[in-house]
Amino acid sequence: MKNIVLIGMPGVGKSTVGVLLAKALGFSFVDTDLIIQRNTGRLLQDIIDNDGLDAFCAEEERAICSVTAEHGAVIATGGSAVYSENAMLHLKKHGVVYYLSLPVEELIGRLSNITTRGIAKRPEDTIEDVFRRRAELYEQYADITIDCIGSSAEQTVAKICEQFRKEGYNGL
């Protein structure tokens, strides 16, 4: 049984969808942002603000590469996980990578707490800048893209379950 790995921009719903998906499939749930916080004892935004983007990305890579290849897990990554080839190859080795896709305009509407939620970006970057930089990487690493336009978290879960089963994985 393969793991399910969720990638995509902040605000797309990776963590929310991940919890619901894990329940629907009887899988365990792993949130790599929480691993970073547990490992460092700090909030994501504190690391970004005080140590910089490069230091944050190094912590993120360490956290992702520490995730064991336990099968039957839903793994929600931080939006910047795709900056690390090592991390993404580690996840792809035992998982199917789903890119949860939304247009940047819809993401901006969802990101009301941009200064506190731990978005890995340089201070001068806008969400549009981050989106442009990451979109190609999301597409590169994705095995399957899930269009989330107009979908609730539950509808997104249903789309992923349907696709996962089409690929021959039936959960537990």
pLDDT in tens, the chain (172 residues): 689 999 999 889 999 999 999 999 999 999 999 999 999 999 998 999 999 999 999 999 999 999 986 678 999 999 999 999 999 999 999 899 999 999 988 887 777 655 555 578 887 888 889 899 999 999 999 999 999 999 999 999 999 999 988 877 654 4
Distance of CA 84 to the CA centre of its chain: 13
For residue 69, what are the contacts with CB-CB under 8 A and spacing of at least 6? Answer: 3, 93, 94
Q: Are 2 and 94 in contact (CB under 8 A)?
A: yes
The pTM for the full model equals: 0.92
Distance CA(1)–CA(86), nearest Å, equals: 22
